[in-house]
Structure 1
Amino acid sequence: MTPRISRRAVASALAAGLLALTACSGGTTSGESTTDAGYQSQDGSFTSWSVDERQGPVEVAGTDYAGTTQDTADWLGDVVILNTWYAACPPCREEAPDLVDIANEYADQGLHVLGINGVDDAGAAESFQRTFDVPYPSIDDRDKAAVASLQGVVPIQATPTTVVLDREGKVFARIVGMAEGSTLRALVEEALAEDPA
Structure 2
Amino acid sequence: MTASRRRRAVAALVAAGTALTLAACSGGGTSDDADVAGQGYVSGDGSFTQWAAEDRKGPVEIAGTDFAGAAVDLADWRGDVVVLNTWYAECPPCRAEAPDLVDIATEYADQGVRLLGINGVDDAGAAESFQRTFDVPYPSIDDRDKGAVAALQGIVPIQATPTTVVLDREGKVAARIVGLAEGSTLRALVDEVLAEPGAGS
* Same fold, judged at TM 0.5 (above): yes
1:25 equivalent to 2:26? Answer yes
Residues 53, 27 of structure 1: alpha-carbon distance in 2 compared, 3 angstrom cutoff = farther
TM-score normalised according to structure 1 size:
0.82
Higher relative contact order (CA 8 A, sep 6+): 2
What pairs up with 1:1-197 in 2 under 5 angstroms? 22-25=23-26, 32=32, 42-196=44-198, 197=201
Identical-pair percentage? 77
Query: Which structure has the bigger radius of gyration?
Result: 1
Q: CA deviation at 1:151?
A: 1.2
Q: CA deviation at 1:61?
A: 1.0
Count residues in correspondence. 173
TM-score normalised according to structure 2 size:
0.81
Gaps of 5+ in 2: 1-20, 36-41
Q: CA deviation at 1:22?
A: 3.8
Residues 73, 126 of structure 1: alpha-carbon distance in 2 compared, 3 angstrom cutoff = same
Which AA in structure 2 matches 1:58?
Answer: V
RMSD (CA atoms): 2.1
2:67 aligned counterpart, secondary structure: coil
Gaps of 5+ in 1: 1-19
Residue aligning to 1:10: none
Which AA in structure 1 matches 2:140?
Answer: S
Please say if residues 22 and 28 of structure 1, whose CA atoms lie closer than 8 Å, have aligned partners that are also in contact. Answer: no
Please say if residues 81 and 112 of structure 2, whose CA atoms lie closer than 8 Å, have aligned partners that are also in contact. Answer: yes
Which AA in structure 1 matches 2:96?
Answer: E
Counterpart Cα distance in 1 of 2:188 and 2:30:
26
Residues 119, 43 of structure 1: alpha-carbon distance in 2 compared, 3 angstrom cutoff = same
Counterpart Cα distance in 2 of 1:187 and 1:33:
26
